[in-house]
């Protein structure tokens, strides 16, 4: 059974999400479901791999764990039960430093870092709905990858809990992050074909 026609007046939860067909990929943001594209484009997947490998190597002997999509991130608003959570997303890359947030279904609670690689079909959602959700959920850093422009913007939570664009990196530069000292990723390697 497919839910390709969700009811506009109904708010959906993680319990609903678990009952949907496994061959369909969905996200729910504040109770509103959206069907994800069937499969990302080759360039998207290449960039994902080029970013994932140096992140995985950097965190290899550290307590943080790195996960590529599909990987469920459940973002509760408070202490609601798992099945009552109304936001479940699958960022392209997730870094979780608190092992207590990890379980057999993915991550419950705010990861430390999420990465989204923009495409024409996801840009609006990634830059608006997900941006706001990640900020409200207190995800410490959000990396937004713009493949067309070969740029990665890094947003970090400021002292007031709002995202502030802390850096913008482009080809020829090395990504670094105040959150993860010593992490350096060569953008030419990320964007070269």
Residue 5 domain flag: no
Q: How would you classify the pairing of strands 32-35 and 65-68?
A: unpaired
- Residue 99, Ramachandran bin (φ over 0: left; ψ between -120 and 50: alpha; else beta): alpha
Residue 165 domain flag: yes
Q: Which residue has the higher pLDDT, 138 or 9?
A: 138
Q: Which residue, 50, 89, 51, is CA-closest to 73?
A: 89
Residue 21 domain flag: no
Position 153 confidence tier, pLDDT thresholds 50, 70, 90: very high
Q: What digits encode the pLDDT tens for the residues 74-129?
A: 999 988 999 999 999 999 999 999 999 999 999 999 999 999 999 877 788 888 89
What is the residue range of 148's domain?
A: 40-191
Q: What is the model's pTM? A: 0.92
State mean pLDDT over 17-42. 84
Q: Which residue has the higher pLDDT, 192 or 59?
A: 59
The CATH number for 68's domain is 3.90.1570.10
Residue 49 domain flag: yes
- The residue ranges of DSSP E strands in the chain, in sequence order, are 26-29, 32-35, 65-68, 73-74, 88-89, 93-96, 102-103, 106-108, 113-117, 141-146, 151-157, 163-170, 174-175, 185-186
Number of domains present in the structure of the chain: 1
Residue 13 domain flag: no
40 alpha-carbon distance from chain centroid: 14
Q: What digits encode the pLDDT tens for the residues 127-151?
A: 889 999 999 999 999 999 999 999 9
Q: What digits encode the pLDDT tens for the residues 42-80?
A: 899 999 999 999 999 999 999 999 999 999 999 999 889
Q: In this predicted structure, what is the pLDDT of residue 25? A: 84
* Residue 9 clears pLDDT 80, i.e. is over it: no
Residue 29 domain flag: no
* Residue 40 clears pLDDT 90, i.e. is over it: no
Residue 177 domain flag: yes
SS3 129: helix
Residue 115 domain flag: yes
Q: Which of 1-10, 112-121, 154-163 has the lowest mean pLDDT?
A: 1-10
């Amino acid at each position: 059974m497919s839910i390709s026609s969700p009811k506009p007046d109904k708010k959906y939860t993680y319990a609903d999400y678990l009952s949907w067909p496994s061959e369909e990929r969905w996200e729910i943001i504040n109770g509103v479901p959206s069907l994800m594209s069937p499969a990302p484009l080759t360039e998207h997947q290449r960039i994902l791999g080029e970013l994932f490998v140096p992140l995985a190597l950097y965190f290899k002997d550290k307590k943080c764990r790195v996960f590529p999509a599909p990987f469920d991130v459940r973002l509760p608003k408070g202490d609601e039960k798992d099945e009552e959570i109304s936001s479940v997303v699958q960022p392209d890359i997730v870094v979780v430093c608190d092992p207590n947030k990890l379980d057999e279904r993915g991550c419950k609670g705010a990861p430390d870092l999420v990465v989204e690689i923009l495409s024409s079909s996801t840009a609006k959602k990634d830059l608006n709905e997900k941006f706001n959700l990640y900020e409200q959920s207190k995800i410490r850093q959000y990396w937004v990858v713009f493949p067309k422009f070969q740029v990665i913007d890094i947003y970090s939570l400021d002292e007031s809990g709002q995202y502030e664009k802390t850096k913008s990196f482009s080809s020829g530069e090395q990504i670094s992050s105040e959150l993860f000292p010593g992490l350096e990723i060569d953008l030419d390697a990320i964007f070269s074909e």
